[in-house]
Structures are given as C-alpha cells and as structure tokens.
Amino acid sequence: MSDSVKHIVNFSGGKDSTAMLLRMLEENVQVDEIIFCNVKATQQIGGELPEMYDYINKINNYIKQKYNKEITVLSQEKSFEDYFYTKKIRGKRKGQIYGFPALQGSWCNDRLKVRVLNQYLKTKENYISYIGIAADETERLKRLKSNECSMLEKWNMTEQDCLEFLRERRLENPLYKRRKRLGCWFCPKQNFATLKILKTEYPKLWEKLLQWQRDSPFPFKMNLTICDLDRRFTKEN
Ligand code: SF4
C-alpha cells in the first residue's frame, strides 16, 4: 500500500472504537489521525453527557503520553437545536419546524455526524477510514465501503471482547455500568431506563427535552411525549 494513504480512525468514545484504537496503537498498526465528531445539543451544551467528555479527555491523555498521538475534534457550526427549529422549505410540511427526529430515517445522524465527517474526509486525497464495528455486528460490517475497514473484524473481536479488553487495561467507559449503548443524551432511540437516569441525574438536560417537546410537532418517541415520560417517571419514584 502506498505511503500517501492516510489511516484515519473514527473514534466515538464507545467501547468498540476505543478498543480498536488502543489495540491498533499497541500493535503498531499505522494510525495517522484519530477523529472524534463532536455533536452540539445547543450552542452552549454538548451532545454527550459530561462523563463522556471526561472519558475522551482521559483517552486523549493516555494516547498522548504513551504514543504521542492526539484526538482531533471535529465540530460544526449548527447544533441539534438549530436544526430542530429550522423550518422545512418544501413538501407538505413546508413551514413546519423539524422538531424531534423520527425513530426510523432520523435527520440528525446525517446532519450532525455524517456530513461533518464527509466534509473533513473530502480534504484528504487518499485514505482508509477505520470504523469500530465488532465482529458480531455482521449487518453493519456488510455496509462498509471499499475505503472503510474495521480491525475488530480482522481480529474477530466481539462487543464483549471490546469491553473486556478495556476492563483489563482499566480504561473502560464508566457510562457502560448502567447502559448497553451510548449516544447523544437527547437520542430518541435510547431506552426508558437511560431516560429515567437523565430525568433524575441531569435535571437541566431533562428540562431542555421538556422545552423541545413543547415546541416539537412530533412526540419524542412514537406515541410518547417527554411530558408523558416525565409523569410516568415521577409516579415511579
Ligand atoms: S445518537 Fe441518536 S440523536 Fe445522536 S445523531 Fe445518532 S440517532 Fe441522532
């Protein structure tokens, strides 16, 4: 392979991309860049929980000290909230704001992550993008493009193997203690348990969700608004 090819690791702070990155560095696999796509919830609030930003700093310090590598943070001007209040300019919902993304075919992943990533990668001429997809995520692996690759597949590392790999090095993300999946704190795809934690432990973020729900033309989840969930969690407590 030509030396001009850039080897770029997509790092999300999740167990799979973190385990892949650390093992690549441990085994001296070429890593030219490590990129993290930082979603903004609003212009003032990040899209990740505070513990995730602490974890990313911890991994960044670790790889800086041990391998002299650093994570490049990609960010974009517009936040989730900016898109949320953007009015549609065509179609039968013309004039209506985007509001909460649908569970299927949501607009947020494309606008907040994919576009930012593609814009950055467009500036690179020749690259391989390393994406942490575990060996047991067969459907996602099938969707990899020709210049994308997951070392986890080559190493036959499952999601569980990634967790154990990080645990052995005492570098696991503490958010996994109570969650199976990570993502934006306002993600409609998260389960009720993590939403309940959000209401109880991050009241300012929950208040933001309530405010968005009051303005959204759509419920947060199919047939369930944040106000419904708020009443339900209050009753349960
Ligand atoms: S984690 Fe959820 S809210 Fe965030 S971009 Fe992905 S689908 Fe959208």
CA atoms within 13 A on the CB side of 119: 12
- With respect to residue 195, please indicate whether it lies within any of the assigned structural domains: no
Reply yes or no on whether the pLDDT at 1 is more than 80. no
- With respect to residue 123, please indicate whether it lies within any of the assigned structural domains: yes
Nearest to 45, CA basis, from 232, 191, 212, 179: 212
CA of 51 to the centre of ligand 1 (A): 17
The tens digit of pLDDT for each residue in 216-225 reads 999 999 889 9
Are the CB atoms for 201 and 48 separated by under 8 Å?
A: no
- With respect to residue 20, please indicate whether it lies within any of the assigned structural domains: yes
Cβ of 112 closer than 6 Å to ligand 1, yes or no, is yes
- With respect to residue 191, please indicate whether it lies within any of the assigned structural domains: no
Residue nearest ligand 1's atom 4 by CA: 184
- Mean pLDDT along residues 40-57: 97
Instruction: Count the domains in the chain.
Output: 1
Residue nearest ligand 1's atom 1 by CA: 183
Q: Round to whole Å and give the CA distance between 161 and 77.
A: 36
Cβ of 184 closer than 6 Å to ligand 1, yes or no, is yes
- With respect to residue 70, please indicate whether it lies within any of the assigned structural domains: yes
- With respect to residue 213, please indicate whether it lies within any of the assigned structural domains: no
Reply yes or no on whether the pLDDT at 65 is more than 70. yes
Q: Round to whole Å and give the CA distance between 131 and 37.
A: 13
17-31, 93-107, 155-169, 205-219: the lowest-pLDDT one: 93-107
Cβ of 187 closer than 6 Å to ligand 1, yes or no, is yes
Confidence of residue 3 (pLDDT cuts 50, 70, 90): low
| Ligand 1 atom with least separation from CA of 101 | 8
Confidence of residue 109 (pLDDT cuts 50, 70, 90): very high
- Which residues constitute the domain of residue 108? 6-180
The tens digit of pLDDT for each residue in 178-200 reads 999 999 999 999 999 999 999 99
Residue nearest ligand 1's atom 5 by CA: 109
- With respect to residue 121, please indicate whether it lies within any of the assigned structural domains: yes
| Ligand 1 atom with least separation from CA of 189 | 2
Cβ of 115 closer than 6 Å to ligand 1, yes or no, is no
CATH value at residue 97: 3.40.50.620
- With respect to residue 194, please indicate whether it lies within any of the assigned structural domains: no
